[in-house]
Structure formats: C-alpha cells, structure tokens
Structure 1
C-alpha cells in the first residue's frame, strides 16, 4: 500500500467513524449495559466500578460475549434486509450508503459492548462525542474485527487493562507526532479498505428488489459474527497478558520516526 492510497483510505475511515458515531443506534451507555448484563450478580457494584474482569475470568467473559455477538448479528442482519427492500435504481446507491452506515454503526455498537464486557472505559464523552483518543480506540476495535495486521497490538496499546492512558498521550502532543501513529494509520487504512469493499457489496445487492435485501442480510449475518468473535478473542488475550503490552520503541528509531512521519510510510523508515 503506497503512502497516497494509505492516506486516502485512512481519511475514509475517519470520515466513516465521524458520520456513523452520530447515529442514535451507535452509542452504548457503559453503566446501563453492565447493569443489564449482570443484573443478577451480587457483585454488581464492583463490576460497575472496576469492570467485569475484576470479578470474572477472561474465559467466562468470552462465553458471555458469544450471546451478545449472536444477538447483535441478528439485529444487524434484519436492519440490512430492511434497507435492501428499495429496488428502484434511482435510490440504489443511496440505499447502499445507508446500509453501509448501519453496518459500521452496528459494528461500533458491538465493539463497545464487547470492550465494556472486558473492562474497558466509556468510549463516548458526556456530550456523546468521540474524542481523538476514542477514535483511535474505534480504529483498533474495527481493525481487530476485520483481522487487520497490527490491530491486536493497537488494541493492547490503547487498552485500559495494560495501564496506558491514551487520552494523556494524545493530549501531550499531536497524534501525528506520536511514535505509534504509523500503526494507527496502517490499521485505519485497512479498515478504510473494508469500508470501500462493503460499499460496493451493498450497492450491488440493492440492484434487485427483495432478493437484494435477502442477500444483503445474509452477507451481514455471515460476516458479522466472525468480526465480533475476533474482537472478543483479542480482548480476552489482552486480559490474559497474551498480547504485547507497552512495547517501548528505542529512542533512535522514535526520533527518526517523528522527523519523517508527515511524509513517509512506516515501511520507508530504515
């Protein structure tokens, strides 16, 4: 992937995240979600304060994630089918765009549920907005869902569970000047590639009324469950310390990296 195409795909990802994060269906309230999931637990207070991982094993939380993923996949498929009903060629592209927005909206919704299940902090701020640090977390989650190379490392870097304080890191200096920005950009570009791919898929399935809706919904269900499972597996491994945690870049590499970051791809740094 050359530098120009990477920039374009990364921009597509940021644009998509920015757009779908405004959809009402996307945001998950952490406390409400945990109260619902652990309503019968005698340890609910601890769960709300410190996260489910403070009470339960990573493996048992992974089993709980399965039911959440199944439910979310079914809801997403039904929504995909509904947007597939219009068969008028004049609205085909528009319908495809709506379906893609819903697809990624539900993906971010599911990512929050899985992340909160494994002890991560609230993604949205009090005003319902995504900070720059939160956008990076979304990129990490979506990257893991799509199996993007480097996504697991990015999840580890942004995770509360390995003690990283992403908000302070981003606030301390511009994101483009942080040593791990190329990893963010690389994973973000791979997510952008998926956005483009899904847009084409969804637009094509809208060409045939009813049948297009069935195909679209089926494709969504088939792809959505593995996506959720990948993220759940990644977060479980992170809790168990199986992912690389806070890896330190050596000073020489980091300095060189920050000098050329605005004009080079990570693979061009020797």
Structure 2
C-alpha cells in the first residue's frame, strides 16, 4: 500500500530527497564567503565587497569573469561528487529521512551546492533563511534549478519568471507567495512530479544504482563528466542568459547564514 502511494505521488518523493539532501553537513553555501573566494583571482577588493553587498553584476564584473568563476566551481563540485562516498559524514548512516538512501542524498547534496554557487555568481539572492528548515520558497527555486539541470523545459520557463520577479524588486528576495501559492506554484509542482517520477520504488529499496540513466553510476563510483558537469553547465548557461545576470542590475543584501563546507571551498582559479 505504501509502495503504491510512493509511485502515485512522485512529487512528494522528490521533495523528500530534496529536504534530506539540504540537511547534510556542507550543503548550504555561505554566499559572502563563496563570492569572496570565487572572485578573488579576478577582482579588486572593492569590487568583491560591492558584489557581496549587492551583486556581481552591480559591481560591474564582466560576464566573461563570471563565466570563468562559474566554470571553476563546476569543476570543483564535479571532482567532489566523482569521489562520492556513500557513508562518510552522514548523520544516521544509510537511512536518511526514513527512506532516502545515503548515496542518493549525497549526490543531490552536491547538486544543491552547485545550484547555490551558480545562483550567487549570477546575482540571485541568498537562498536559505536563518533557520535550519528548508522553506517552501527555497525548495521551489531549488526544484526549478534542478529541473533545468535535468533538461525539464517547464523548469527553464519557471526560473525565467522567477528571475524577472526578483529583478523587479527594490529589496531582492525570492518571491515567496508566487512560489508557494501563486503563479509559479503549479510549475514547481509539475517539475517536482517529473523529477520524482524518475525515482522509482526500486531506488528506495535498492539504492541509487537504479536511477537510470542520470545517476546510475554513482553507487559504483563511476560518475564522471558525462553526467554531473554537463548538467551543471546547462544550468550555468541558462542563469547567464537571464535578466538578473544583465550588467548593472540592482540586487540584494549580502548573505548571512553559515554553511559547513565539508570538502573545503573552491580552489583559487590560478591553481586550477
């Protein structure tokens, strides 16, 4: 009976994976610390401070520099996820949130990390609130970001609409109402359902190796540039094309929450 409910409600299954992954140590990125690290190779201290206080585009940082920083972050996260360990550092061992396998949660943890980094490079507001819970608006935006990575067309439409809404605000923040009960909510639900449909009952019974074709190789340690990196690049290209990434756009206040970087921050691009 429980199994049939899981199959009938794939959107809730994806939400469960997203929530479990967001709780893992090191998944949440400190926006200010990340921008400081990502931009230090290319920008003056003054530019970096303005990028943190406002956004990289408001600081006048050229798209070419933002793209270099984004690619460095993609390489870093690809290397980390390629060396994925299914058990290390996971509170509760292999069973997270009751039914989510550790390897699946860790993989999506790296996806959430790269979505935050690319969002902050391309002038999105801080995604996580002060509290430890994943709020609905952030979950909605992350769902759309991940949908773009997996090639879901409606996710691209949704992210474009969110970008326009954020760009039009005086104080930059996620459009809470639109994402949780308004015009964007149906899109978020549709994308979550499409993503969750790939997570069959067998995934949660036997592990991530059943998630074919995108992450089937994770359990055997075979995840390479053929999966994670192209997906991240797809998101990077879409974010770079949006209104928020246009030069001189105004932005939000700096991020203020703390993220635990288990694997360390991105290396200095000069060393890449």
> TM-score, normalized by length of structure 1?
0.70
> Is 1:59–1:236's contact at 8 Å kept on the other side of the alignment?
no
Report the CA distance shift for 1:70/1:175 in structure 2 as closer, same or farther (over 3 A).
same
Quick one: distance in 2 between partners of 1:187 and 1:175?
14
The residue that corresponds to 2:65 in the other structure is 60
**In structure 1, what is the equivalent of residue 105 of structure 2?**
101
Structure with greater helix percent: 1
Q: For the Cα contact (< 8 Å) 1:10–1:188, is it kept in 2?
A: yes
Q: 1:105: how far off? A: 0.7
Q: Distance in 2 between matches of 1:163 and 1:117?
A: 19
C-alpha distance in structure 1 between counterparts of 2:203 and 2:224, whole Å? 12
Aligned equivalent of 2:38: 37
Q: Which of residues 221, 229, 250 is equivalent to 2:233?
A: 229
* Cα distance in 1, alignment partners of residues 71 and 228 from structure 2: 12
Please, which runs of 5 or more residues in structure 2 have no aligned partner?
A: 89-93, 211-215, 247-272
1:190, distance to aligned residue in structure 2 (A): 1.7
> Which residue pairs with 2:86 in the alignment?
83
Alpha-carbon distance, 1:161 to partner: 5.0
> Does the 8 Å CA contact 1:69/1:225 hold for their aligned counterparts?
yes
Q: Tell me what 2:257 maps to.
A: none
Contact 1:25–1:106 (8 Å) recurs in 2: no
Q: 1:201 to 1:64 in 2, by over 3 A?
A: farther
Distance 1:215-1:53 versus aligned 2 partners, 3 A rule: same
User: Cα distance, 1:149 vs. partner?
Assistant: 1.8
Query: What CA distance in whole angstroms lies between the structure 1 residues aligned with 2:242 and 2:12?
Result: 28
- The DSSP-based 3-state class of the residue aligned with 2:57 is helix
| Higher relative contact order, chain-length normalized (CA < 8 Å, sep 6+) | 2
Q: Do residues 136 (structure 1) and 137 (structure 2) align?
A: no
Question: What is the aligned length?
Answer: 224
Change (3 A) 1:202 1:148: farther
Q: CA RMSD in A?
A: 3.7
Tell me how far apart the structure 2 counterparts of residues 189 and 122 of structure 1 sit (CA, whole Å): 25
Query: For residues 204 and 126 of structure 1, what CA distance do their matches in structure 2 show?
Result: 31
- Please name the residue that 1:246 is paired with: none
The answer on 1:114 being equivalent to 2:118 is yes
Whether contact under 8 Å (2:149, 2:232) holds in the other structure is yes
The equivalent of 1:10 in structure 2 is: 11
CA distance change for structure 1 residues 75 and 193 in 2, over 3 Å: closer, same or farther? same
1:64 positional shift: 2.2
Q: Give the gaps of 5 or more residues in structure 1.
A: 86-90, 207-211, 243-270
For normalisation by structure 2, the TM-score amounts to 0.69
Q: Give the whole-Å Cα distance in 2 for the aligned partners of 1:5 and 1:96.
A: 12
Alpha-carbon separation, structure 2, partners of 1:36 and 1:174: 30
In structure 2, distance between residues paired with 1:199 and 1:141: 22
C-alpha contact 1:9 1:193 (8 A) present in aligned 2: yes
